[in-house]
Protein backbone atom coordinates (compact mmCIF):
# COMPACT_ATOMS: atom_id res chain seq x y z
CA UNK A 1 0.00 0.00 0.00
CA UNK A 2 1.45 3.30 -1.07
CA UNK A 3 -0.44 5.30 1.51
CA UNK A 4 -1.44 4.20 4.99
CA UNK A 5 -4.56 5.96 6.23
CA UNK A 6 -4.22 8.06 9.34
CA UNK A 7 -6.66 7.47 12.18
CA UNK A 8 -8.78 10.45 11.17
CA UNK A 9 -8.87 9.38 7.53
CA UNK A 10 -9.88 5.89 8.59
CA UNK A 11 -12.64 7.24 10.86
CA UNK A 12 -13.93 9.52 8.09
CA UNK A 13 -13.97 6.67 5.56
CA UNK A 14 -15.77 4.35 7.99
CA UNK A 15 -18.32 7.05 8.82
CA UNK A 16 -18.94 7.74 5.13
CA UNK A 17 -19.63 4.05 4.47
CA UNK A 18 -22.07 3.93 7.40
CA UNK A 19 -24.30 6.81 6.41
CA UNK A 20 -22.34 9.51 8.22
CA UNK A 21 -22.70 7.99 11.69
CA UNK A 22 -20.59 9.78 14.30
CA UNK A 23 -17.43 7.95 15.36
CA UNK A 24 -17.57 8.23 19.12
CA UNK A 25 -18.11 6.19 22.28
CA UNK A 26 -18.16 2.42 21.83
CA UNK A 27 -17.88 2.74 18.05
CA UNK A 28 -14.68 4.75 18.33
CA UNK A 29 -13.32 2.34 20.93
CA UNK A 30 -13.90 -0.62 18.64
CA UNK A 31 -12.36 1.14 15.63
CA UNK A 32 -9.26 2.00 17.64
CA UNK A 33 -8.87 -1.73 18.31
CA UNK A 34 -9.87 -2.83 14.80
CA UNK A 35 -7.59 -0.46 12.87
CA UNK A 36 -4.19 -1.97 13.83
CA UNK A 37 -5.54 -5.50 13.33
CA UNK A 38 -7.02 -4.51 9.96
CA UNK A 39 -3.71 -2.87 9.00
CA UNK A 40 -1.95 -6.18 9.60
CA UNK A 41 -4.58 -8.09 7.63
CA UNK A 42 -4.33 -5.58 4.79
CA UNK A 43 -0.53 -5.94 4.69
CA UNK A 44 -1.00 -9.71 4.48
CA UNK A 45 -3.38 -9.10 1.54
CA UNK A 46 -6.22 -10.92 3.31
CA UNK A 47 -9.36 -9.82 1.51
CA UNK A 48 -12.49 -8.51 3.19
CA UNK A 49 -14.54 -11.17 1.39
CA UNK A 50 -12.42 -13.88 2.98
CA UNK A 51 -13.03 -12.38 6.43
CA UNK A 52 -16.76 -12.18 5.72
CA UNK A 53 -16.85 -15.86 4.73
CA UNK A 54 -14.74 -16.79 7.76
CA UNK A 55 -17.27 -15.02 10.00
CA UNK A 56 -20.06 -17.21 8.62
CA UNK A 57 -17.96 -20.36 9.09
CA UNK A 58 -17.25 -19.30 12.69
CA UNK A 59 -20.99 -18.83 13.30
CA UNK A 60 -21.67 -22.33 11.99
CA UNK A 61 -18.96 -23.58 14.37
CA UNK A 62 -20.72 -21.79 17.26
CA UNK A 63 -23.85 -23.84 16.52
CA UNK A 64 -21.97 -27.11 16.17
CA UNK A 65 -19.99 -26.50 19.39
CA UNK A 66 -22.81 -24.89 21.37
CA UNK A 67 -22.43 -27.14 24.41
CA UNK A 68 -18.69 -26.62 24.76
CA UNK A 69 -17.17 -23.83 26.92
CA UNK A 70 -14.96 -22.57 24.08
CA UNK A 71 -18.04 -21.80 21.94
CA UNK A 72 -18.15 -18.33 23.53
CA UNK A 73 -14.64 -17.64 22.21
CA UNK A 74 -15.73 -18.74 18.73
CA UNK A 75 -18.74 -16.42 18.96
CA UNK A 76 -16.41 -13.53 19.88
CA UNK A 77 -14.24 -14.42 16.88
CA UNK A 78 -17.27 -14.43 14.58
CA UNK A 79 -18.31 -10.99 15.82
CA UNK A 80 -14.76 -9.64 15.45
CA UNK A 81 -14.47 -10.94 11.89
CA UNK A 82 -17.72 -9.17 11.03
CA UNK A 83 -16.20 -5.88 12.15
CA UNK A 84 -12.78 -6.46 10.64
CA UNK A 85 -13.98 -7.17 7.10
CA UNK A 86 -15.27 -3.62 6.68
CA UNK A 87 -12.19 -2.05 8.25
CA UNK A 88 -9.89 -4.13 6.07
CA UNK A 89 -11.79 -3.21 2.90
CA UNK A 90 -11.37 0.47 3.78
CA UNK A 91 -7.61 0.13 4.23
CA UNK A 92 -7.27 -1.94 1.05
CA UNK A 93 -9.45 0.49 -0.88
CA UNK A 94 -11.80 -2.31 -1.96
CA UNK A 95 -15.03 -1.05 -0.42
CA UNK A 96 -17.97 -1.48 -2.79
CA UNK A 97 -21.74 -1.78 -2.90
CA UNK A 98 -21.35 -5.47 -3.73
CA UNK A 99 -19.19 -5.93 -0.64
CA UNK A 100 -21.84 -4.21 1.49
CA UNK A 101 -24.55 -6.51 0.10
CA UNK A 102 -22.37 -9.57 0.65
CA UNK A 103 -21.63 -8.51 4.22
CA UNK A 104 -25.31 -7.94 4.96
CA UNK A 105 -26.27 -11.36 3.56
CA UNK A 106 -23.47 -13.00 5.56
CA UNK A 107 -24.72 -11.32 8.74
CA UNK A 108 -28.22 -12.69 8.23
CA UNK A 109 -26.91 -16.20 7.56
CA UNK A 110 -24.66 -16.02 10.63
CA UNK A 111 -27.55 -14.90 12.83
CA UNK A 112 -29.64 -17.81 11.57
CA UNK A 113 -27.00 -20.14 13.03
CA UNK A 114 -26.96 -18.07 16.23
CA UNK A 115 -30.70 -18.75 16.51
CA UNK A 116 -30.07 -22.46 15.92
CA UNK A 117 -27.53 -22.32 18.74
CA UNK A 118 -30.14 -20.92 21.12
CA UNK A 119 -32.46 -23.77 20.16
CA UNK A 120 -29.67 -26.35 20.56
CA UNK A 121 -29.07 -25.05 24.09
CA UNK A 122 -32.68 -25.73 25.04
CA UNK A 123 -34.67 -22.57 24.25
CA UNK A 124 -38.18 -23.01 22.83
CA UNK A 125 -38.21 -22.88 19.04
CA UNK A 126 -41.10 -20.41 18.88
CA UNK A 127 -39.40 -17.91 21.21
CA UNK A 128 -36.18 -18.13 19.22
CA UNK A 129 -38.18 -17.91 15.99
CA UNK A 130 -39.92 -14.71 17.07
CA UNK A 131 -36.62 -13.12 18.09
CA UNK A 132 -34.83 -14.15 14.90
CA UNK A 133 -37.69 -13.02 12.66
CA UNK A 134 -37.89 -9.66 14.46
CA UNK A 135 -34.13 -9.19 14.01
CA UNK A 136 -34.37 -10.11 10.31
CA UNK A 137 -37.24 -7.68 9.68
CA UNK A 138 -35.46 -4.95 11.65
CA UNK A 139 -32.40 -5.20 9.43
CA UNK A 140 -34.52 -5.39 6.28
CA UNK A 141 -36.45 -2.25 7.25
CA UNK A 142 -33.19 -0.46 8.05
CA UNK A 143 -31.72 -1.42 4.67
CA UNK A 144 -34.82 -0.28 2.77
CA UNK A 145 -34.99 2.94 4.77
CA UNK A 146 -31.32 3.64 4.13
CA UNK A 147 -32.00 3.34 0.39
CA UNK A 148 -34.62 6.07 0.69
CA UNK A 149 -32.98 8.22 3.37
CA UNK A 150 -29.25 7.65 4.02
CA UNK A 151 -29.41 9.35 7.44
CA UNK A 152 -31.72 6.60 8.69
CA UNK A 153 -28.85 4.16 9.09
CA UNK A 154 -27.54 6.17 12.04
CA UNK A 155 -30.50 5.14 14.22
CA UNK A 156 -29.43 2.63 16.90
CA UNK A 157 -32.02 0.37 18.54
CA UNK A 158 -31.74 -1.40 21.90
CA UNK A 159 -30.98 -4.74 20.21
CA UNK A 160 -28.36 -4.35 17.51
CA UNK A 161 -26.12 -7.22 16.38
CA UNK A 162 -23.57 -6.96 19.24
CA UNK A 163 -26.42 -7.07 21.78
CA UNK A 164 -27.80 -10.21 20.10
CA UNK A 165 -24.35 -11.77 20.41
CA UNK A 166 -24.25 -10.85 24.11
CA UNK A 167 -27.59 -12.59 24.71
CA UNK A 168 -26.28 -15.70 22.95
CA UNK A 169 -23.02 -15.56 24.92
CA UNK A 170 -24.98 -15.39 28.16
CA UNK A 171 -27.11 -18.34 27.09
CA UNK A 172 -24.00 -20.40 26.37
CA UNK A 173 -22.60 -19.45 29.76
CA UNK A 174 -25.85 -20.16 31.60
CA UNK A 175 -26.28 -23.55 29.91
CA UNK A 176 -23.51 -24.89 32.15
CA UNK A 177 -24.73 -23.26 35.37
CA UNK A 178 -27.40 -23.79 38.01
CA UNK A 179 -28.37 -20.71 40.05
CA UNK A 180 -30.81 -20.74 43.00
CA UNK A 181 -32.41 -23.98 41.91
CA UNK A 182 -32.72 -23.03 38.24
CA UNK A 183 -31.22 -25.45 35.74
CA UNK A 184 -29.02 -24.40 32.87
CA UNK A 185 -31.88 -25.08 30.45
CA UNK A 186 -34.28 -22.81 32.36
CA UNK A 187 -31.68 -20.04 32.43
CA UNK A 188 -31.23 -20.38 28.66
CA UNK A 189 -35.01 -20.17 28.23
CA UNK A 190 -35.21 -17.00 30.32
CA UNK A 191 -32.34 -15.49 28.31
CA UNK A 192 -34.17 -16.33 25.08
CA UNK A 193 -37.30 -14.62 26.42
CA UNK A 194 -35.31 -11.49 27.26
CA UNK A 195 -33.71 -11.52 23.80
CA UNK A 196 -37.10 -11.95 22.13
CA UNK A 197 -38.59 -9.10 24.17
CA UNK A 198 -35.68 -6.76 23.46
CA UNK A 199 -35.76 -7.67 19.79
CA UNK A 200 -39.49 -7.05 19.35
CA UNK A 201 -39.16 -3.67 21.10
CA UNK A 202 -36.21 -2.86 18.84
CA UNK A 203 -38.23 -3.74 15.75
CA UNK A 204 -41.12 -1.55 16.86
CA UNK A 205 -38.82 1.43 17.46
CA UNK A 206 -37.15 0.97 14.07
CA UNK A 207 -40.56 0.82 12.38
CA UNK A 208 -41.61 3.99 14.21
CA UNK A 209 -38.38 5.67 13.11
CA UNK A 210 -39.01 4.57 9.52
CA UNK A 211 -42.57 5.90 9.61
CA UNK A 212 -41.45 9.23 11.08
CA UNK A 213 -38.67 9.72 8.52
CA UNK A 214 -40.79 8.74 5.52
CA UNK A 215 -43.64 10.98 6.67
CA UNK A 216 -41.12 13.83 7.01
CA UNK A 217 -39.80 13.20 3.49
CA UNK A 218 -43.33 13.09 2.05
CA UNK A 219 -44.21 16.34 3.84
CA UNK A 220 -41.19 18.05 2.29
CA UNK A 221 -42.09 16.74 -1.18
CA UNK A 222 -45.67 18.00 -0.80
Q: Which of 94, 110, 145 is the last residue of a domain?
A: 94
Contact 72, 88 (CB under 8 A): no
Asked if residue 110 has pLDDT above 90, the reply is: yes
Q: How confident is the model at residue 28 (pLDDT cuts 50, 70, 90)?
A: confident
Q: Is 167 found in the same domain as 77?
A: no
Within-domain flag for 102: no
Alpha-carbon distance of 74 to 61, in angstroms, equals 7
Q: Is 220 found in the same domain as 175?
A: yes
Within-domain flag for 109: no
Q: How confident is the model at residue 61 (pLDDT cuts 50, 70, 90)?
A: very high
3-state SS of the chain: helix, strand, coil percent to 5? Answer: 80, 0, 20
Average pLDDT over residues 6-22: 82
How many angstroms from the chain centroid is the CA of residue 12?
A: 21
Within-domain flag for 107: no
User: Lowest mean pLDDT: which of 126-140, 148-162, 175-189?
Assistant: 148-162
Contact 126, 132 (CB under 8 A): no
pLDDT of residue 59: 97
Q: Is 220 found in the same domain as 128?
A: yes
Q: Is 151 found in the same domain as 90?
A: no
Q: Is 3 found in the same domain as 63?
A: yes
Within-domain flag for 43: yes
What is this structure's pTM?
Answer: 0.89
pLDDT of residue 147: 72
pLDDT of residue 152: 46
What's the mean per-residue pLDDT of the chain?
87
φ/ψ of residue 68, rounded to 5: -95, 145
* Conformational region of residue 181, where left means phi above 0, alpha means psi within -120 to 50, and beta covers everything else: left
Q: Is 142 found in the same domain as 52?
A: no
Within-domain flag for 13: yes
- Helix/strand/coil for 93: coil
Q: Is 169 found in the same domain as 72?
A: no
Q: Which residues span the domain enclosing 208?
A: 121-222
pLDDT of residue 122: 93
* Number of separate domains in the chain: 2
Average pLDDT over residues 215-220: 64
Amino acid sequence: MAHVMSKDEFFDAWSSLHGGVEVSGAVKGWLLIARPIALLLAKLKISAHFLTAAGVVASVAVWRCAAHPYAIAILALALALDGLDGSTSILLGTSSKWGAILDSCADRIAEFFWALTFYALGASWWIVGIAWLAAFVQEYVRARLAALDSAAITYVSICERPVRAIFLGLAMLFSTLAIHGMTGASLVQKTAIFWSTFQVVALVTVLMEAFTRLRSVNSIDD
